[in-house]
């Protein structure tokens, strides 16, 4: 059942007032209004085949050919995405002093573009690429430009955009030329934590440190099906912190939640921010 926007927004504002140091975790639902597709439906099930595995990407040239050929098309959605009302509302909450830390599972950097500064990109950032051998780095757009030059036939193709800069393209990828590291010829990979990889310890520890200083957890637009995000809700529950969720569907943490609103993200967040701003004026 979908909660009414006004009721959910007012309840969320009350929750924030009672817990003014929020540890916020966000997921793909925050960026769908920005035109970036998400992975899961309201029941937490995959809408499409799961994304590439780290081990497969590293071990197989064919997997990398498929990945980068599709990315030439699909990454346009991420590159051209604009911040949504949900991103702006969360940035407003930070400016009002209600956000201790925002941990995002997204790799699009839209929270930062909206004005949030207390952000940890848990799964990395898609706009940067690094060599897995020597650490050489370059911007993603520069790599795409070079591979488009190397592969004009693929660059001219079109397909529906998919999550995280992918595209629904199926063809023979065997002739696609992948750009290797210009310094050492190593494998270039987006600075993103793929499935089968692990979150860098320093990033995980920084997120946990923020949780120690928080009054409550607020999960926004995430099913929390991935353990790297779910673990923090589990830890918060063990610490006795309230755990709330705003999303359109189920979450892996449903049994741990003290508050849950199933409602559209942007209007509820905007309503909550409006309530809080009004109370500051009263």
**Residue 61 in contact with residue 178, Cβ under 8 Å?**
yes
**How far is 28 from 138, CA to CA, in rounded Å?**
25
Residue 146: burial class (beta carbons within 10 Å; 0-12, 13-18, 19+) = middle
Strand partners, 167: 161
From residue 184, alpha-carbon distances to 61, 149, 180, 241 in Å are: 17, 21, 8, 48
* Kind and range of the H or E run holding 147: helix 140-150
Say if residue 233 carries a ligand binding annotation. no
Residues with a catalytic annotation lie at 123
**How far is 246 from 258, CA to CA, in rounded Å?**
12
Helix (H, G, I), strand (E, B) or coil at 191: strand
Question: Which DSSP symbol is given to 61?
Answer: H
For β-strands 216-220 and 243-247, DSSP reports them as parallel
**How far is 273 from 21, CA to CA, in rounded Å?**
15
DSSP letter string, 55-69? HHHHH-HHHHHHHHH
């Amino acid at each position: 059942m979908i909660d009414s926007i006004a009721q959910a927004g007012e309840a969320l504002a009350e929750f924030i007032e009672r817990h003014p140091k929020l540890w916020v975790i966000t997921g793909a639902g925050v960026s769908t209004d920005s035109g970036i597709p998400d992975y899961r439906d309201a029941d937490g099930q995959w809408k499409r085949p799961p994304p590439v595995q780290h081990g497969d990407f590293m071990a197989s040239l064919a997997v990398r050919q498929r990945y980068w050929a599709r990315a030439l098309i699909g990454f346009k959605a991420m590159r051209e995405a604009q911040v949504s009302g949900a991103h702006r509302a969360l940035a407003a909450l930070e400016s009002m002093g209600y956000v201790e830390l925002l941990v995002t599972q997204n790799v699009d950097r839209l929270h930062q573009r909206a004005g949030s500064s207390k952000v940890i990109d848990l799964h990395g950032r898609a706009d940067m690429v690094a060599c897995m051998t020597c650490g050489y780095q370059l911007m993603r757009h520069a790599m795409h430009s070079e591979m488009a030059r190397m592969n004009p036939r693929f660059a001219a193709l079109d397909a529906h955009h998919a999550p995280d800069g992918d595209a629904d393209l199926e063809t023979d990828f065997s002739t696609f030329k992948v750009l290797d590291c210009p310094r050492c010829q190593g494998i270039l990979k987006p600075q993103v934590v793929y499935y089968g990889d692990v979150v860098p310890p320093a990033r995980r520890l920084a997120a946990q440190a923020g949780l120690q200083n928080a009054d409550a957890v607020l999960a926004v637009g995430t099913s929390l099906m991935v353990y790297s995000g779910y673990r923090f809700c589990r830890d918060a529950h063990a610490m006795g912190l309230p755990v709330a969720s705003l999303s359109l569907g189920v979450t892996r943490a449903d049994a741990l939640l003290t508050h849950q609103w199933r409602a559209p993200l942007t209007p509820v967040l905007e309503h909550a921010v409006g309530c809080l701003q009004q109370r500051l004026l009263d």
